[in-house]
A and B are shown apart, each in its own frame.
Chain A
Amino acid sequence: MNIENLRDKTNFDSPLGVGGSLCITITKAMLTSEGTTNLEVCTEINDNELLCLFGHSGAGKTTLLRILAGLTKPDKGLIVFNGMVWFDSEKKINIPPQQRNVGYMFQDYALFPNMTVEHNIRFAQKTKDKNEVDQLIKLFDLEALKNQHPAKLSGGQKQRVALARALAAKPNVLLLDEPLSALDFDMRLALQHEIRKAHELLNTITLMVTHDLQEVFHLATSVVILKNGNVINQGKPVDVFSQDKTPYLYLK
């Protein structure tokens, strides 16, 4: 989809009819270990998709997530979510992260050390609702930990709290930056289930950065493969990886 088509779409009086679709056309210069490369992404993500961003380090996966969250500003381009312009370099529109309502889960989980598990989740709520906090705590099996501070939690427990907190804000889009990379193998398997649960609960787009093919096949409804800032392939995991008999080539 080209950028002009996207602009035309946003001029409609009613919002885009396709629910919570996310249209991205951006360029951003990135500094990598091999010098400067341009992150150039042009894609459209449909509602309810659980999309994995796959590629080697420095390919631009995290930068793309940060751009979507409004934490990093692209050099040029257009981002439209559900008919609402989040970023438009030509019209100088850049909606701040506070108003995009995305759930962003950092690699280090970024739980607030000064708050208990329960307070971390409550902090995220737009309108305070004790019942909902209790439900999330139950759902992610955190009842025994709700009065603990993050410093006392294991990696897997932190991940569950971070997911619960992200859901408490009822985000439009869920962005997960390598949510499982810091965990051991058994824990990964267990927590993949939690991620799927979170995605199904939100009923919206989830974008997840990963290095792990097994995660892609287990979770993703579609996958985008990034290499040196460019999308080199995208589609259903089975289709994308069967086109090439040795998918690990993408990593080199």
Chain B
Amino acid sequence: MDQDFINTLLLTGKLAGWTTAILFVVGFPLAYLLAYKRFWVKPVVEALISMPMVLPPTVLGFYMLVAYSPQNAFGRFLSDHFNTRLAFSFEGVLIASVLFSLPFMIQPLQNGLTSIPKSLRETSYTLGKSEFTTFIRVLIPNMIPSIITAAAMTFAHCIGEFGVVIMVGGNMPGETRVASIAIFDEVQALNYHTANQYSVVLFIISLVILTLVYSINKRNPINL
């Protein structure tokens, strides 16, 4: 196997890994708010988070490119203060990927939280425990299957992402050329053998991850 092939797969794993890690940190507080708190814009927030499930990736990709452009406020700010351009860079793809994978992290976590009986939380409060302690000691240990599902689905979805990456990142080896892009590229160049190698790897990884998710949730069914 040549170095290019391995680098592309490593980059794919790096993007999916970072996306999952970032969403893990962002996802818990967000899922907690959506599961337990009431606020008037909640339906809008929920709809926005779920948008990537129905929206063409090219739409988000397009708006990300617009935002990254130095002609607009966000892009100009980055370019002036950090001398950074996000378009066609790994970081740019990563931000888009985090936004685009939000529902795959949030929804299993939110379902996990709401499926825990309210009486467990309330008992913990009456025993003098803060919301944070209750979250760490009572809620998280009782939603492990949901947490694994959330992480696995985010990772798997990220590995399969194509539209957002090609819009925001293009096809730059070592920077933004992930496996799904490489397959498209190799087919265009009539390198069916290499395209097949990438495809087999993605197929197997996705199958293993989804099998893991379904076997974990066999005993604790959670709506994905």
A interface residue numbers (CB < 8 A to B): 69-71, 96-104, 106, 108, 110, 112-114, 123-124, 126, 165, 169
Contact = CB atoms under 8 A, between A and B. Distances in A.
Contact of A108 (B117, B124, B126): B117
B128 A101 contact: yes
Contact of B119 (A102, A108, A114, A123): A108
Given A98-B125, A103-B126, 19 more contacts: A69-B122, A69-B126, A71-B126, A96-B125, A97-B122, A97-B125, A98-B130, A99-B128, A100-B126, A104-B123, A106-B123, A108-B119, A112-B123, A113-B142, A114-B141, A123-B127, A124-B127, A169-B126, A169-B127
Interface in B30-86: none
A197 B72 CA distance: 72
A210 B141 CA distance: 33
Contacts of B141: 112, 114
A110 B127 CA distance: 12
B128 A71 contact: no
A69 B119 CA distance: 12
Interface-centre pick from B125, B126, B142 (highest chain A CB count, 10 A): B126
Interface of B: 117, 119-120, 122-130, 137-138, 141-142
B142 A114 contact: yes
The 4 closest A-B pairs by CB, nearest first: A114-B141, A110-B119, A106-B119, A110-B123
Q: Which of B120, B122, B128 counts the most A-chain CB atoms under 10 A from its CB? A: B128
Nearest to A124: B127
A126 B127 CA distance: 8
Contacts of B126: 69-71, 97-98, 100, 102-104, 169
A90 B127 CA distance: 27
A104 B130 CA distance: 16
Contacts, number: 53
24 contacts: A69-B122, A69-B126, A70-B125, A70-B126, A71-B125, A96-B125, A98-B130, A99-B128, A103-B126, A104-B123, A104-B126, A106-B122, A108-B117, A108-B119, A110-B117, A110-B120, A110-B123, A112-B120, A112-B123, A112-B124, A123-B129, A123-B137, A165-B127, A169-B128
B90 to A, nearest CB: 39
Contacts of B130: 98
A110 B137 contact: no
Nearest to B131: A98
B129 A98 contact: yes
Contacts of A169: 126-128
Contacts of B124: 112
A113 B119 CA distance: 12
A112 B142 contact: yes
Contacts of A104: 122-123, 126
Nearest to A103: B126
Given A112-B138, A113-B142, A114-B141, A126 B119 contact: no
Contacts of A102: 126
A150 to B, nearest CB: 11
A120 to B, nearest CB: 10
Nearest to B144: A114
Contacts of B128: 98-99, 101, 126, 169
A103 B123 CA distance: 8
A113 B124 CA distance: 13
A10 to B, nearest CB: 23
Q: A103, A123, A126: which has the most chain B beta carbons within 10 Å?
A: A123
Nearest to B121: A110
A99 to B, nearest CB: 8
Contacts of B122: 69, 71, 97, 104, 106, 110
A62 to B, nearest CB: 11
A126 B126 CA distance: 12
Contacts of B142: 112-114
A126 B142 CA distance: 22
A70 B117 CA distance: 18
A51 B123 CA distance: 21
B121 to A, nearest CB: 9
B180 to A, nearest CB: 38
A123 B120 CA distance: 13
A70 B185 CA distance: 62
A113 B139 CA distance: 10
A110 B123 CA distance: 7
Contacts of B119: 106, 108, 110
